[in-house]
Amino acid sequence: MATPTNAVDKNSNENGDASIRTAFREVVEGHRSGFIPRAIIPIDDIGNVEPSGYAPGEKELRCKLASLYRLVDHLGWSQAIFNHITVRVGKEDQHFLLNPFGLLYHEITASSLIKVDVQGNMIDRGSTYFGVNIPGFVLHSAVHSARPDAKCVIHIHHAACIAVASMKCGFLPVSQEAVLVGNVSYHDFYGVLVDKAEREIIVKNLGNNNIMFLRNHGLVVAGRTVEEAFTRAYHTVLACEAQITMMSAGLENLVIVSEEAKQRSMEVVRRAQEMIEDGALKEKEGQVDTKKAMQVRWNLGDLEFEAYMRMMDSAGYRTGYPYRLPSVKRPTEN
């Protein structure tokens, strides 16, 4: 028996109304929880031709940095339009890429990144109407100027990191992650960081370390690459979250990793890193045809970051990331 037309229309209307109610409920609940459903904005929005004003390799670096902003947002480390992640660009490394002040992290794309010099002067304003938060760049300019090895600098206000930075005991070696990130520095809070004269104190306090806690403020992480800075920040955040959880038991109940165990762990990390930098994915001699074997050179953070880029590209983010392993599957043996 055929279904009456008016019944079909009624069902369609009811289904449509239900869909609208569901969508509206999701938006309302999203507002309440702080999560608002949003469309994916592609990261690589530059195209195949690198603009004439770009330095050699700048497009690739822009894609990496924009992807890092998205990843920081995905992990819940972002704070609205605030904070910065910067990376050196250009032959002389005197220019830096950073976010336009006004975009949320999930809106940042490769073309929207702004290029400035160490003083914060505009070199390339990117593809938006927004400019640079000069006071926020004071911290980054200090680190980049004093540390040529600090190609990428991440600054975040993650709650657990602020909490640890505000404790008299500081960052404690109470987890494997805390031990493996190495030595850390501290910088006291003098008020909102806008005074360029404070850069000298920042540089002195950071020293040769790659992690610095800004008392009552947040975290600064430096790396030789975007990938290295990310993985260092990731483990520091994990360590801070673990420490905050442990602190509920009372400081007197925490087991502190011994200095000897800490040094042994750091030695293991150093040896492992040397092996990675010599080339990972190597197999025992005689087990594989070396002519067919893919030799991949991995540096600190590369494996983790590339895995996240696969996740983002699978979701449709179009990261533009230059994969070392275009496919993670072995070719079929003939």
**HEC letters along 117-140:** ECCCCEEECCCCCCECCHHHHHHH
- Of residues 127, 71, 82, the one with CA closest to residue 104: 82
Q: What is the pLDDT along the chain (334 residues), one digit of tens a residue?
A: 444 444 444 454 555 555 555 555 554 455 455 556 678 999 999 988 888 889 999 999 999 999 999 999 999 999 999 999 999 998 776 899 999 999 999 999 999 999 998 888 899 999 999 998 877 788 898 999 899 999 999 999 999 999 999 999 999 999 989 998 989 999 998 877 666 778 889 999 999 999 999 999 999 999 999 999 999 999 999 999 999 999 999 989 899 888 888 888 777 776 666 666 555 545 444 454 444 445 777 888 898 999 999 999 999 999 999 998 888 887 776 5
Residue type present at position 324: R
- Cβ partners under 8 Å of residue 75, min gap 6: 234, 237
Rounded Cα distance, 276 and 209, in Å: 22
- What residue segments make up the domains of the chain, in order of their start? 58-253
Q: Which of 130, 128, 99 is nearest to 115 (CA)?
A: 99
User: To 10 degrees, what angle do helices 58-74 and 302-314 make?
Assistant: 80
Q: Which CATH number fits domain 58-253: 3.30.1360.80, 3.40.50.300, 3.30.559.10, 3.40.225.10?
A: 3.40.225.10
